[in-house]
Structure 1
Amino acid sequence: MPEVFLAEKQKRGYPMRFIHIADVHLGAVPDKDKSWSKERADEIESTFDRLLAVAEERKVDLLLIAGDLFHAQPSLQDLKSLDYKLSKLTNTRTIMIAGNHDYISKGSPAESYEFTSNTVLMPADTFSNAYLDDINVCVTGFSFGQVEYTEDVYADIMPQMEDVVNILLAHGGDEKHIPINFRQMAESGFDYCALGHIHKPKHIVKNKMAYPGSLEPLDRTETGRHGFIYGQIKDDETKIRWEPFNCRSYINLGLAVKPEYSEAKILDVLAKQMENMGTQNIYRIILSGHMANGLKPDFSGLMRNYRIYEIVDNTLCEYDLDKLHLDNEDNLLGKFIERFADAEDEISKHALKYGVEAILATGDK
């Protein structure tokens, strides 16, 4: 049976405004082995709070949460805290589904919790509808009742009501978490399909189907900006835009080292780049090019002053390979260099680098 909310003011004739988020992962603790881990966990919570403030400021009609609001199945206290926060929204109703991380199992608090705020959490393993009479919108959704689904449960879903705005709230998109036929979904007739599960923003069908990505990046693989989708629907026309919102980003920072670079120059260039790109961000530094023979920069000071997840050294030492080969053509080192003499691919170049260094280090030629 559809859930019905009666608002104080009739709004037909005005744009229906909504915010679409997913994969917030409240309770997650990114980068557990790093000094900034607790800070990142707090930021996930505070960024969600900032998002609710935006919803209140813009007086949006709907907050759509497409699964994995929580990093794990929420406790009763988690739900009470969420309910309290959502109760502060004076103009916004919240419709949400559970994803594979916060799935609703039998007997879990989420299965029986009754929200006091204007919030609907769709039940597990069945399609449900929330009809909002004042804005003439029907939201259809399906909550995860287990971690994995290998079949496309959305394959035959259709809009549930006529002469209303129909929105589908869906979580999934890979082979273990509801594989989705996006073309079929796009042609099913919904005015908007609000998707969750993919952590990077992805616009599947212009103004009709999209992943907002997570509000904050959750690990070093989730580079780039993160945010939410703001949309309006009026006269059967849907318009959405993605807005960046994260307070911190993971960035892959590359530096092509030259043989003439000193340790001081390498450290200085990296520091200036991180200052320019934002000291709040978390960096994975990737060194390439050629390092002066025997130079091994000390990055400890840089790692104390900036958030550096790791440093990947892909540089090659600047050996005179021709001279090394000529001087050692009858021993192991010379034969090893000869083996990779014409190598052009990166794997072979690195094999040459590490092999030469290892042979020289042992002195066994």
Structure 2
Amino acid sequence: MNQIKILHCADLHLGAELSSLGNAARQRREEMLMTFDRIVSLCREEKVELLLIAGDLFESSGVDIGLVHSVQKSLSEIPDTAVAIAPGNHDYISADSPYSEEGWPVNVHIFQSGLTSFELPEKGVCVWGAAFTGTYVTETLLQEPSISQDNTIQICVMHGDLTAENQTSNYNPISPVQIRFSGFDYLALGHIHKRTEILKSGATAYAYCGCPEGRGFDELDEKGVYIGTVYKGGTDLAFRPVCKRMNLEVPVDISGAATNQEAAAIVLHTLKQRYGDCCAENLYKVRLEGALDASYTPDCAAIAVRLADEFYYIKIKDETHVQADLSEFAKENSLKGIFVRKMLDKIDGCKAEEQESQYRRALYIGLKAFDSEVTLNEN
């Protein structure tokens, strides 16, 4: 059976500022480039025949020229791997695009505009793709291609936004119906940073591989690429983690803690227990939860300082509540009692979990205010 081994990656956003990481931003930018090098090494080690890069390899057209040269050099070191790049909405084709620089190796094909293809005749493969030529593409780039009806494997790489039929998008809208009638054996997608499973529409398999390295706490958990084989009418692809670090959002119950030192110790123990040997390497957003005595309000900045030497990056958010018998407070013939009763009524009337959480949080902050415990950073 004719087949080809591929690696599908997307959305590396090399050159991103990552300003939210402060002093760690420069190191993290270099680590993202190292992750790209790791993907290239994976192609070499596993004899990948076709590397598909589904857009936003670079953060923008204004990235450092040295970064572009580093990418070019890495790709030149896998001459036996054909590389297909479909520029996305961040690194779209333009006069000052990174793709306009000289020095791209001969094994790299960069799509320049609408849907076109190139052949890998010795592999029995036709590779299709299209490029963004501006920040926005409101009309689909997945025009129905003219595909031969022989046994040639048909693969497409594209940056775009999966939408329902007739739904609009500024980022190359692609519907499952279009995919069904495309005639492709595999459609490698980029743009959405959370990976999907390998999906099917008709005979066409398609997927987002997600980003290989999370850039913030909206890109959580393990990140990587898809690697495996594509053959006529099917795929055998598996997710492969490649990220240097994970962004993790973790709730930690600190019930009973009475000082910042105790709270920090509970956080440290919880993270070490949950993530083991690689615990220190990750980036954490920790949500403090649980019931605390009204006499103690966690100082998030102070707790983060106590943990700074234990982790690569950590930020703390206080979502604890006052340890209190609300039913007893509600019985009081006082301003506090009236406040508690009204807030409990609002909570009981909530239909959305997020709204209920907000009201409950407001209730506990209000109780601290009655005990003169609220500080300016209580929000």
TM range, smaller chain: 0.7 to 0.9
* Alignment correspondent of 1:261: 257
Deviates more, 1:188-197 or 1:69-78: 69-78
2:241 counterpart of 1:244: yes
Q: Secondary structure at the match of 1:99?
A: coil
* Alignment correspondent of 1:220: 217
- Code of the aligned partner of 1:15: Q
Given that residues 186 and 209 in structure 1 are in contact (C-alpha distance below 8 angstroms), is that contact kept between their aligned partners in structure 2? no
* Alignment correspondent of 1:10: none
2:341 counterpart of 1:338: yes
Q: Give 5+ residue unaligned stretches, structure 1.
A: 1-12
* Alignment correspondent of 2:105: 116
Q: Which has the larger radius of gyration?
A: 1
1:211 deviation in Å?
Answer: 0.8
C-alpha separation in 2, matches of 1:338 and 1:109: 61
C-alpha separation in 1, matches of 2:268 and 2:180: 47
Deviations 1:316-339 (A, max 9, x none): 112354555566x24x33322232
1:362 deviation in Å?
Answer: 8.7
* Alignment correspondent of 1:353: 364
1:97 deviation in Å?
Answer: 1.2
Q: Secondary structure at the match of 1:295?
A: coil
Given candidates 318, 324, 330, the residue that maps to 1:313 is: 318
- Which of the two has greater helix per residue? 2
- Over the matched positions of the two proteins, sequence identity in percent amounts to 28
C-alpha separation in 1, matches of 2:154 and 2:121: 12
C-alpha separation in 1, matches of 2:339 and 2:243: 49
Q: Give 5+ residue unaligned stretches, structure 2.
A: 163-168, 349-355, 375-379
C-alpha separation in 1, matches of 2:39 and 2:109: 18
RMSD: 2.5
Q: Secondary structure at the match of 2:22?
A: coil
Given that residues 213 and 243 in structure 2 are in contact (C-alpha distance below 8 angstroms), is that contact kept between their aligned partners in structure 1? yes
Deviates more, 1:132-141 or 1:302-311: 302-311
Residues 108 and 250 (structure 1), Cα distance of their counterparts in 2 relative to 1, 3 Å cut: closer
What is the 5 A alignment of 1:159-238?
159=147, 162-173=150-161, 175-203=169-197, 205-206=199-200, 208-234=205-231, 236-238=233-235
Number of residues of Structure 1 aligned to a counterpart in Structure 2: 347
1:282 deviation in Å?
Answer: 0.7
Given that residues 230 and 236 in structure 2 are in contact (C-alpha distance below 8 angstroms), is that contact kept between their aligned partners in structure 1? yes
1:155 deviation in Å?
Answer: 4.6
Q: Secondary structure at the match of 1:222?
A: coil
Given that residues 66 and 169 in structure 1 are in contact (C-alpha distance below 8 angstroms), is that contact kept between their aligned partners in structure 2? yes
2:285 counterpart of 1:288: no
* Alignment correspondent of 2:136: 148
- Code of the aligned partner of 1:274: L
Given that residues 30 and 37 in structure 1 are in contact (C-alpha distance below 8 angstroms), is that contact kept between their aligned partners in structure 2? yes
* Alignment correspondent of 2:37: 49
Given candidates 64, 71, 83, the residue that maps to 2:72 is: 83
C-alpha separation in 2, matches of 1:62 and 1:309: 38
* Alignment correspondent of 2:306: 301
